[in-house]
Amino acid sequence: MKKTILLLIAVLTLGAAQAQERVLNRGIINHRDGDGETAPTYDNSGFGIKGGLMYNTLRGDGTDGIQGLKTGTNWHAGFYSQFSLSRFFSVQPEILYSRKESKMEGGSMRFDYIEIPVMGVLSVTDNVSLHVGPQAGVLMAVEENNKEIDKSQFNSFDFGAAAGLEARLSIFRLGARYYLSLADLGETEDAGDAAYSAFNNIKSGNFQVYLGVGF
């Protein structure tokens, strides 16, 4: 996973270089075609930062063993790099730090992840796009009632699919996205520990709203 993260950092760095070239060329990246003439590329590529709120929910048979389960709110933030493949389609890898929190009777649970979505971006109009793609994550920490606990009782790897809409105005991006996890949260083999074994049959999902700034 470390190699994957390093690869994403390299990809994002390349995106930053492309974005800088866009700025120097007043928003248009130029390249030479086969005849040696300068031709513009499409304006759906670049590099930026993003962050916003995350509303986390839990689902699955294991939720029956958790009293007073409610949606929790926390934040996510990170970097994105967008690579144009045509006028209407681009690929956008991201690297995010996400805090997924759920409220329950007597306290809360929070799962912190480094996440890597790779979104296919379809431009519906010049300023509105549809995002769909896979996402993977690595569990970094778990907190119960604001106190860190042993994360070995939980699944260290998460994967799923995400989809959403984004609107762009100048250098700003405003978006909404839903992520559906396909991996169970728990990985404990201690059936006697009902508090954590319930997570063996629980998956998460979250709704995100975010603001991004492109360079």
Highest mean pLDDT among 25-39, 141-155, 190-204: 141-155
The domain ranges of the chain are 2-214
Residue 183: the pLDDT is 97
Residue 193: the pLDDT is 58
35 pLDDT more than 60? no
Q: What is the pLDDT of residues 60-92, one digit of tens each?
A: 999 998 889 999 999 999 999 999 999 999 999
Side chain identity at residue 50, one-letter code: K
CA proximity to 83, closest of 70, 96, 92, 71 = 92
Residue 215: the pLDDT is 85
Only one residue has tokens 């629980």, namely: 202
What is the band of 36 on the pLDDT scale with cuts at 50, 70, 90?
Answer: low
Q: For residues 180 and 2, which has the higher predicted lDDT (pLDDT)?
A: 180
Q: Where are the beta strands (DSSP E) in 145-171?
A: 147-149, 157-169
Report the top-level CATH class of 2-214.
Answer: mainly beta
